[in-house]
Amino acid sequence: AIRDISHDPTLRETIKLKDGRTLSALQMQLEYLEYATRYVDSISPDPATKDVLARWTDVLTKLESDPMQLHRELDWVIKRTLIENYMNRHRLSWRDPKVSLLDLQYHDIRPDKGVYYRLVANDHVDRTTDDETIEQAKHVPPQTTRARLRGEFIRQANLKGKDYRVDWVYLKLNDPERETILCKDPFQSHDERVERLIRSF
């Protein structure tokens, strides 16, 4: 379902839910927003929470009426605008290899190579964060999620010169006698198994 939805720029692709309803991803997001808004209205939200809800509302409103209004804010719309402008300027079709190359170059994460970074440098993108915050996030994971576990495992393994493998949900020392530790809950920031493994280095 995720693949079908992600390949639909019209935002009309629907999926059948377990409760029998058929909704588009946008309709689901609107429901999530409604639940989140109700919850936030029942507490005393901090300014950051209010800002998130305001941005979320703005994005969904624009997606409903005309997604291209988000040509400075939303990644897929930024990329589509860039590619369509390039195609129009050079009279190319979606099948042209130059268009495919531009598509790839947009996602090059090297600041000196990626097309996205050129758009940022030329003030064609509205960013929600800055380079300093991004750099800090590379080294200090969110402390209330499993990213804290993963980050601490990697830090300690590097300090002790241990060979390891990690992905979103598992941690493993490259030692046949060590178990793979699955961390399935994204909001679990403490796990005795991981802490025990780190202590054993």
Average pLDDT of adjacent 10-residue blocks, the chain of 201 residues: 84 93 96 97 94 97 97 97 98 97 94 93 95 90 93 95 94 90 94 94 88
Distance CA 66, CA 63 (A): 5
Distance CA 114, CA 125 (A): 14
Identify the DSSP state of 67: G
pLDDT value, residue 2: 80
If we measure between CA atoms, which residue out of 39, 33, 43 comes closest to residue 64?
33
Helix (H, G, I), strand (E, B) or coil at 21: coil
Distance CA 170, CA 42 (A): 36
- Tens of pLDDT, residue by residue over 52-94, are 999 999 999 999 999 999 999 999 999 999 999 999 999 999 9
pLDDT value, residue 177: 84
Q: Is the dihedral of CA 117, 120, 124, 127 positive or negative?
A: positive
pLDDT value, residue 185: 94
If we measure between CA atoms, which residue out of 121, 104, 103 comes closest to residue 112?
121
pLDDT value, residue 125: 97
State the pTM of this model.
Answer: 0.74
If we measure between CA atoms, which residue out of 33, 34, 5 comes closest to residue 17?
5
DSSP 94-135: TT-HHHHHHHHHHT---TTT-HHHHHHHTT----SS-HHHHH
pLDDT value, residue 165: 95
If we measure between CA atoms, which residue out of 46, 186, 174, 72 comes closest to residue 127?
72
Helix (H, G, I), strand (E, B) or coil at 176: coil
pLDDT value, residue 105: 94
- The residue count of the chain comes to 201
